[in-house]
C-alpha cells in the first residue's frame, strides 16, 4: 500500500468541498447574452430573431 498516495487522497477528499465553495467564478454576462442572442430563442419559444429572453430581460 502506498501510504504517501493514500494520505494525499485523504487530504484531497477532506478539503475539496471547501475549495469548491471558496472558488469565485467571474462570468462575462454581456458576452454570454450576446452569444445567446446569436443562437436565438429556445426551441418552441418562438419570437423570431429579435426575441428577448424573459429571464434576462424581465
pTM tops 0.75: no
- Does residue 33 contact residue 56 with C-beta atoms inside 8 Å? yes
Q: Helical H runs in 1-58?
A: 3-22, 29-39
- What is the C-alpha to C-alpha distance for residues 48 and 34, in angstroms, rounded to an integer? 16
40: which residues sit within 8 A by CB, 6+ positions away? 49, 51
Determine the number of helices (DSSP H) and then strands (DSSP E) in the chain. Answer: 2, 0
What pLDDT digit, counting tens, does each position of 15-43 carry? 999 999 999 889 999 999 999 999 988 77
Select the more confidently predicted residue: 14 or 50: 14
Amino acid at each position: 500500500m502506498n501510504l504517501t498516495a493514500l494520505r494525499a487522497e485523504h487530504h484531497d477528499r477532506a478539503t475539496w468541498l471547501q475549495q469548491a465553495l471558496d472558488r469565485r467564478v467571474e462570468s462575462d454576462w454581456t458576452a454570454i447574452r450576446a452569444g445567446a442572442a446569436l443562437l436565438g430563442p429556445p426551441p418552441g419559444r418562438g419570437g423570431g430573431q429579435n426575441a428577448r429572453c424573459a429571464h434576462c430581460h424581465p
